[in-house]
Amino acid sequence: MNTHFEGLSSPRKMKRSDQIVEAVKRWVVVKDIQPGDRLPNEKALMELFECSKGTVREALKALEVQGLIRLKTGPKGGATLAQVPYPLASQLLRNYLHFQHPTGPDIYRLRKLVEPELAALVVGRLTPEDLQLMEELTERCAQAPADFEERLEQRIAELDFHNLLAERCPDPLLAFIGRFLNDLIKDLVIFQKVHLPEQVEFSQENLDYHRRLLKAYRAEDEAEVRDLMYRHMLSAEKFNKELQGQLTGSLLSQGESQLPG
């Protein structure tokens, strides 16, 4: 993995601030620091590493950019260990994928694999509030959209339906991939909102699948959920293929989250 072993084995020629970053990470792991715990303040770090304030700040900044610490101002402020927030993780992964140009078919290929399994794992884990919210999101797509804006809102509501399932998924890997795919699709939808044809059939099929999924979740019928979700994804893939030619450009070349423009 890390091909350049910057950590323990080879101190080598590293910038001072990076040495501090590595040392702090190491310290966090060996001491098993939990989120919310405080790191030493700037002055202590200055003395500990025998360097200036600017160097310490640069190291802390690097940790903050990676989402590993949060910097708060005032007394009792300073650096506290943090969980990496999902939006940041999503953004960083999209930065990696930016020059790899994933295509629409790529996205739906993965979705077809992941969503059915994810959906099945959620069976029996939805609260009445969750089910109510899902019903609201579903029925928000029941009426024919009046304009571009409304059609866009309906597509977002459809994605939020899937996002809720992902957030309730007990498998963190599938949960992340589910949310990440929804992010990619949301960008795709927003990007092509202008030249997005009506696709009435698509909206109708989606609405139908979401209603039947909701019913299956209420009955806690795992096999039915898995089967419905798979066919839902096949349907979505089919309609995406109809739009193939229109998204030849960089899929990810917009949206404020990746290489925010």
User: Which residues, 223 to 252, sit near a copy of itself by CB under 8 A?
Assistant: none
Nearer to a copy of itself (CB atom), residue 96 or residue 128? 96
**72 sits near DNA (criterion: CB under 7 A):** yes
76 contributes a contact to DNA by CB under 7 A: yes
- Can you read off the two tokens belonging to residue 185? 């699709």
- The Cα–Cα gap between 45 and 244 comes to 54
CB of 94 to a copy of itself, least distance (A): 9
Q: Whose Cβ is closer to a copy of itself: residue 17's or residue 206's? A: 17
Give Cα 17 distance to the centre of its chain: 29
Could you tell me the smallest distance in angstroms from the CB atom of residue 133 to a copy of itself? 17
| Distances from the Cα of 153 to the Cα of 17, 22, 111, 130, 193, angstroms | 45, 44, 21, 20, 11
Structure tokens at 139: 């029925």
1 binds a copy of itself (CB under 8 A): yes
Number of residues this chain uses to bind DNA (CB under 7 A)? 25
The tokens for 56 are 């310490």
Sign of CA dihedral 146, 147, 151, 153: negative
Query: Are 68 and 25 spatial neighbours (Cβ–Cβ below 8 Å)?
Result: yes
Extract the tokens encoding 216. 């299956």
Residue 41 within binding range of DNA, rule CB under 7 A: yes
* 81 lies in the binding site for DNA (CB under 7 A): no
- Closer Cβ to DNA, 46 or 243, answer by number: 46
Closer residue to DNA (CB): 81 or 133: 81
Site of interaction with DNA (CB under 7 A): 13, 15-17, 41-43, 50-55, 57-58, 60, 71-79
